[in-house]
Amino acid sequence: MKVAIGDVDVAAAEQTAAELGHGTIALHVDVVARDSVRAFLDETEQRLGPLDVLVNNAGIMPLGPLDAEPDATAQRLVDINIHGVLHGMKEALPRMRARGRGHIVNVASTAGKVGFAGGATYSGTKHFVVGVSESARAELRRSPIEISCVMPGVVNTELSAGTSPARFVAHIEPPLVADAIVAALRCPRFEVFVPRRIAALTKLGGVVPTAVRDGFARLLALDRVLGGADAEARRAYELRAAGSPDEDAGRDY
């Protein structure tokens, strides 16, 4: 495939594009603004050809107790994690419908299936991504356009800095998620859990009584994955996620 990387930090995108090679290009995009997403896709198609796959991957994960969360943080979560996905889908789908093909990959999270203490609003935004992906898939059922929803566990990126792994489910490396996405493109499927054993755990949690599910969550220490995060270890990321001028590190998400 020919690949275009969109990011608010064009320098970082350009570095990654150079590392990938094979004609990969880097362009600016701010997923919060629909016209920016449109411009990104327009230039991508102008330079690389018709859009076959869109991966909605932008997201942030500020952590903390819900009742202590600033309204500005909640708004930013919604703008990026929800509207960013919507903008990508709304701009990509008409192009794919017109050509009768395409595949949209929405990167959600295990938090799209399970609510995690310490990340209430984040979990809510990821539940939205799962729900909108399911609804869009239903609308497209009789079309050749595919929808995949990727639900990884905690991935070893800066976003997960200072978090603790759940029992029996270690943090995973980004290439594992990338491989799962490529596999879903080659052989389309809707639910993409990474690692796959998370699927069994979430489905089991969906059929047992609430008290049993809560006990199971405590056994796996799910309440400490986000709720027990090291605030100091996360400070630099949290400032970037907030778009704070106090941390001149470039990337918003």
Tens digit of each residue's pLDDT (9 = 90 or more) over 139-153: 999 999 999 999 999
CB atoms < 10 A from the CB of 213, how many?
Answer: 15
Residue 224 has pLDDT above 50, yes or no: yes
Strands (E) located in 77-230: 102-107, 145-152, 191-194
The end-to-end CA distance of the chain, in Å, is 25
Q: Which amino acid is at 79?
A: D
pLDDT at 207: 75
pLDDT of 152-182, one tens digit each? 999 999 999 999 877 767 889 999 999 999 9
pLDDT at 216: 65
The CATH code of domain 53-241 reads 3.40.50.720
Strands (E) located in the chain: 4-7, 25-28, 53-56, 102-107, 145-152, 191-194
| 122: annotated active-site residue | yes
Distance separating alpha carbons of residues 246 and 196, to the nearest angstrom: 39
Q: Which amino acid is at 40?
A: F
- Choose, from 122, 193, 237, 253, the residue flagged as catalytic: 122
Calculate helix-pair angle for 120-139, 84-99, nearest 10 degrees: 10
Q: Residue 253: which pLDDT band, with cuts at 50, 70 and 90? A: very low
pLDDT of 44-98, one tens digit each? 999 999 999 999 999 999 999 999 999 999 999 999 999 999 999 999 999 999 9
Residue 206 has pLDDT above 80, yes or no: no
pLDDT at 213: 72
